[in-house]
Amino acid sequence: MVPENMLLEPPFEGACLYPKNTERRWYNKKRFIIPVSILTAILILGVVLGSVLGSRSTNNVSANICGGFVRKEGWNISGNNILSSPVQQPDYASCCSQCQATPGCIAVTYSPSSQQCSLKTSIDSGESSADDTISGYN
């Protein structure tokens, strides 16, 4: 925008206050802005993905899984105990592993609240409903 009146007096008469060079600066050109914008978007995406994937749990051990055993929540297999009293185990998977390591054991009954594990020789004596019990059999 050039003013209509000349504000300069001699010896500056005709001086060019507004340069006629309309070329954009190097950082305002499209060939600079577009690649920088793409790199910035990739960087932001990488940071977001890294933080999401880095915060995922890598603990693949589950207290609910025991290979080859059928798990039944809320059921108690009565009788047929291998041992005279239940053994203490921290979770169902540990109870199940102990059964797998014990000859003649084909079923378990585990109580999470008391952490008691009963090893069984069979499931023929029947099952009964029990809220705080997990049973598993092979």
For tokens 């029990």, name the residue.
130
Q: Give the pLDDT band of residue 47 (cuts 50, 70, 90).
A: very high
Q: Is residue 91 part of a domain?
A: yes
User: Does the global pTM surpass 0.75?
Assistant: no
Q: Is residue 49 part of a domain?
A: no
Say how many C-beta atoms besides its own lie within 10 A of residue 47's C-beta: 10
Mapped onto helix, strand or coil, the DSSP state of residue 119 is strand
Token code pair at residue 62: 């589950």
Token code pair at residue 5: 């009146």
- What residue numbers bound the domain in which 96 lies? 70-137
What kind and span of H or E run contains 72? strand 70-77
Domain count, the chain: 1
Q: Give the pLDDT band of residue 48 (cuts 50, 70, 90).
A: very high
Q: Is residue 102 part of a domain?
A: yes
Tens of pLDDT, residue by residue over 49-63, are: 988 888 766 554 455
Please give the distance of CA 14 from its chain centroid, rounded to a whole number.
Answer: 71
Q: Is residue 78 part of a domain?
A: yes
Distances (CA, A) of 36 to 41, 47, 48, 108: 9, 16, 18, 62
CB of 120 within 8 A of CB of 107? Answer: yes
pLDDT of residue 11: 61
Does pLDDT of 43 surpass 90?
Answer: yes
pLDDT of residue 9: 60
pLDDT of residue 126: 67
